[in-house]
Amino acid sequence: IGQLNTLVLADLISFAEENDATSKKVHELSVQLLATQSFVEIQELVTRSLQQEFSVSKATLHIWLNPLDAELKNNDAFASVSDTFSDWVLGLSSPFCGAKPQEAEGVVASDLQSFAFIPLRKKTVPNAFGVLVLGADTPQRFKANMGTMYLERIGELVSVA
């Protein structure tokens, strides 16, 4: 039993260290988002940070509101998505993790194996105005039963940026 307790304690310490490292990365993203001055800067920062710091193969923003800046009309983030996809995202109360859902067909890269769909919403408005999609080359990166606390925090940060 002593050896089992040692293994459990080692697992708990490892988990705590991983959480601490993730928390630091989310904090750094927060600080960097505060320094951005345009939507394009936010888009580039989110994509770069999530791919480099969080080991995500692809990060994509999809926003279904019309941009206030006419120059953004041709930005990929504002490209139209199907009603099926946007309705599915609107129905999410928290990030969805796992294999690509049928509703996301044609929205995400077909070569990726697991995804996190993070609804973007303002606290004062319950409906999502977009989604941050994270994709991974491996099927185990985003699993249906994984914790989503940090994904929710990243979604909140991106939503208010």
Instruction: Work out the percent of the chain whose per-residue pLDDT is above 90.
Output: 65
Consecutive H or E run containing 9: helix 2-34
| Best CA proximity match to 149, nearest among 23, 6, 35 | 23
Query: What is residue 71's predicted lDDT score, i.e. its pLDDT?
Result: 86
pLDDT at 154: 94
**Whole-number Å distance between alpha carbons of 36 and 45:** 8
Per-residue pLDDT averaged across 144-152, rounded? 91
pLDDT band at 4 (very low <50, low <70, confident <90, very high): low
Mind listing the pLDDT tens digit for each residue in 57-112?
Answer: 999 999 998 888 888 989 999 999 999 999 999 999 999 999 999 999 989 888 99
d(C-alpha 102, C-alpha 83), whole Å: 13
- For residue 1, what pLDDT is reported? 59
Is the pLDDT reported for residue 36 higher than 70? yes
In this prediction, residues 20-43 reach a mean pLDDT of 90
Strands, E assignment, the chain: 58-63, 96-98, 114-120, 130-136
Region 115-127 average pLDDT: 88
Q: 123-135, pLDDT tens digit by residue?
A: 877 789 999 999 9
